[in-house]
Amino acid sequence: QKEVEQDPGPLSVPEGAIVSLNCTYSNSAFQYFMWYRQYSRKGPELLMYTYSSGNKEDGRFTAQVDKSSKYISLFIRDSQPSDSATYLCAMSAIDKIIFGKGTRLHILP
Amino acid sequence: GAVVSQHPSWVICKSGTSVKIECRSLDFQATTMFWYRQFPKQSLMLMATSNEGSKATYEQGVEKDKFLINHASLTLSTLTVTSAHPEDSSFYICSAQQGREQYFGPGTRLTVT
């Protein structure tokens, strides 16, 4: 079993919809959870990070962590065409950080 | 804050030549930097971890003699692709660690002809 699993998509949703992106993990040592956004031919950009179970909100973005289920999510409200990108989850323990393979998201105008 | 730059952003070189890519943390010091490679529509592939003042740690399957990494200061790491071949054409991205977060550079597109 891979340490981090992420559906590569592509995921296509209409503009204005709520988007749900998810990752599962197997290593209970992961303590820190991050979401990155990567536009085509650009480096990934850190969107959100959290280290505890529960929700963290930043504007239209909400990161959710459920450590008991080893499951993290990123919700995007009122999705815009400019949100079209690849979203990578990442998790870290003391000595390493592991990235998911990324989910390609298309917001349809 | 936490800005990472890369230079050049795009380079074309002939097969057999060497290319150096620079990664700089502009507003923070980074004892650890990472080098990734990414093929079109593929995920990031970690190549090596670069630690300031010591030898880089390479991932399995990455040739250390081909991909030379130097982390001479707390704000600069360089990746040199030696004797480049067309199969080395890819998008190379560095990141710098600050605390528990990694901040990525904008990437360098290498094309070997």
Query: pLDDT tens digits, residue range B74-108?
Result: 999 999 999 999 999 999 999 998 887 889 999 99
Cβ atoms of A75 and A20 closer than 8 Å = yes
To the nearest whole angstrom, how far is the Cα of B18 from the nearest Cα of chain A? 22
* Res. B40 pLDDT band, cuts 50 70 90: confident
Per-residue confidence (pLDDT) for residue A52, from 0 to 100: 84
Residue of chain B whose alpha carbon sits nearest to that of A7: B43
| Cα dihedral B20→A85→B2→A70 (10° resolution) | -110
Per-residue confidence (pLDDT) for residue A46, from 0 to 100: 92
To the nearest whole angstrom, how far is the Cα of B74 from the nearest Cα of chain A? 19
Is the pLDDT reported for residue A68 higher than 70? yes
CB contact under 8 A, A49 and B103: no
Is the pLDDT reported for residue A1 higher than 70? no
Tokens 């990752």 correspond to what residue?
A23
- Which of B45, B18, B50, B15 has the alpha carbon at shortest distance from B31? B50
Residue ranges of E strands in A11-108: 11-14, 19-25, 32-38, 45-50, 54-58, 61-66, 71-76, 85-92, 97-99, 103-108
Per-residue confidence (pLDDT) for residue B1, from 0 to 100: 64
Residue of chain A whose alpha carbon sits nearest to that of B3: A45
Per-residue confidence (pLDDT) for residue B31, from 0 to 100: 86
Per-residue confidence (pLDDT) for residue A107, from 0 to 100: 97
Neighbours of A56 (CB within 10 A): 15
Neighbours of A13 (CB within 10 A): 17
Mean pLDDT value across chain B = 93
Is the pLDDT reported for residue A90 higher than 90? yes
Residue of chain B whose alpha carbon sits nearest to that of A34: B101
CB contact under 8 A, A42 and B100: no
CB contact under 8 A, A42 and B107: yes
To the nearest whole angstrom, how far is the Cα of A18 from the nearest Cα of chain B? 24
Please count the CA atoms within 13 angstroms of the CA of B48 that sit on its side-chain side: 25
Per-residue confidence (pLDDT) for residue B62, from 0 to 100: 95
Per-residue confidence (pLDDT) for residue B64, from 0 to 100: 93
